[in-house]
Amino acid sequence: MSTENEGTAVPPAPSAPPVPVDAPASAPGTAQEGHASAGIPGPGAGSTPPAGGAPSAPGAPHPEGAPTTQLPPVPPGQPGAYPAAEAGWPPPPPVTPLYAGGGGGAGGGLGASYQEPAPKPKNGRGGLVAAILVAALVAGGVGGGIGYQLAKNNDSSGSTTVAASTSGGDVKRAIGSIASVAARALPSTVTIEAESTNGQGGTGTGFVFDTQGHIVTNNHVVADAVDGGKLTATFPNGKKYDAEIIGHAQGYDVAVIKLKNAPSDLKPLALGDSDKVAVGDETIAIGAPFGLSNTVTQGIISAKHRPVASSDGGSESKASYMSALQTDASINPGNSGGPLLDAQGAVIGINSAIQSTGSSGLGGSGQSGSIGLGFAIPINQAKYVAQQLIKTGKPVYAKIGASVSLDETTGGAKITDQGAGGSAAIESGGPADKAGLKPGDVITKLDDTVVDSGPTLIGEIWTHKPGDQVMITYQRGGKSHTVDLTLGSRVGDN
């Protein structure tokens, strides 16, 4: 299913069943125009995906702020058709979700699209101030009425007020309470503001990764500042630092920035194990929804391995794919890039996209918001990507070296008859070629995970590292076959 990144619309992608089950055999058919190489499009690896966005499917997830949105602020984009992706880079899925931090778009069954956070309106404080004033006036009126009544009742008797035994600040909170977790994690989260050279930008979130000043966030959160823009990170204590981009991965939607003149007392957040997370586990999300920095929300893990395809909705943007953790913790545009914590306060994911009933971008008048369907990049995957970016500045993707259709389907990921730009669908000498896969084969499982579409397959492949061995189940001529395959690698987003 596709979702939107907080604020930006993304093309929809077919949704995968929540629990692995044997997928029905799918007879090979004619390859559709839209296709991408699995795990980094097959032949021609390294080519850039076609510009444009696929139309969003109704009900698809969006990055925070759109039907399904990924977190950073991103200007709303009009969904369009995604052309076939070239080998080395899979084109965006049929349906794209919105970014939780700033992108927006219609979402569909496969994944969630994301958006970059939308620019803060110049009069952003207006609504909040008005609300506060109204609340104050109402409280004043009620207080006055009660005061008068108490005074009247107390003409001939003592005061009827009752004092609490302790004040709020004296309450003892358990070490594992939400308040305790928030108190420990908030000092290590930052609100990120990215601004392009033309003054456009948005707000997202990030968290301290190490003591050297590296901050992990979403790619769509910092996208505006990639080419000479301005980037800042502000801590809850009000201290603000200029920052620079160390590396960013469009496909994974992960980026690493570094604080300039970083303080010496940084406390990195502890990283958990996303593979051990179970449905029903408690979750805590921290971010800056709609610019409200240092916001904490609570929920649970609603599902695992949720296939999400997202995009920032830009005319030249590429899709991001993830096998996401789904949570019902409230996530909105601006939460993108923030940590999703477990009950002990360890990071288990990076909030990136949401499914929403709205489809407008974060910067529009009808911004999308949380309906309890949020998606996070598993931390085990994000940690690997972040370490690669810090080490080399470039992302490394796993691939099978085959071009697959990105059209919506429930039959699996079909290897196309031809690759992007007229190239071969199977990369010569690549993993798929060595495993004996052929055009027309329909991949239905990767290990024990059911594959219902091309985007789902790509997202699952990217949860692995180059060199990992996986078992591929596929249909050919109405019969099911399995084969072991060693994943190849591609460096960079292009």
Residue 14's pLDDT band (cuts 50, 70, 90): very low
User: Would you state the structure tokens that stand for residue 230, as one six-digit string?
Assistant: 């301005």
pLDDT digits (tens, 9 = 90+) for 142-180: 333 333 343 344 455 555 666 666 555 567 777 789 999
pLDDT tens track for 409-459: 668 999 999 887 778 899 999 999 999 999 999 999 999 999 999 999 999
Q: pLDDT by residue (tens digit) across 441-452?
A: 999 999 999 999
- Closest by CA position to 395, among listed 336, 318, 306: 318
Query: CA 114 to CA 152: how far, in whole Å?
Result: 59
DSSP string, 314-325: -TTPPPEEEEEE
The alpha-helical segments, DSSP class H, found in 375-434 are 379-392, 431-434
Query: What percent of the chain has a predicted confidence (pLDDT) above 70?
Result: 61
136 vs 88: CA distance, rounded Å: 58
Please give the structure tokens belonging to residue 419.
């690759």
pLDDT average, residue stretch 469-476 = 96
**186-236 pLDDT per residue, tens:** 999 999 999 998 888 889 999 999 999 999 999 999 999 998 899 999 999
Measured between alpha carbons, how far is 234 from 187 in angstroms, rounded to an integer? 10
Active site residues: 220, 253, 336
Alpha-carbon distances, residue 92 vs 19, 41, 84, 119 (angstroms): 24, 11, 9, 25
pLDDT at 261: 94
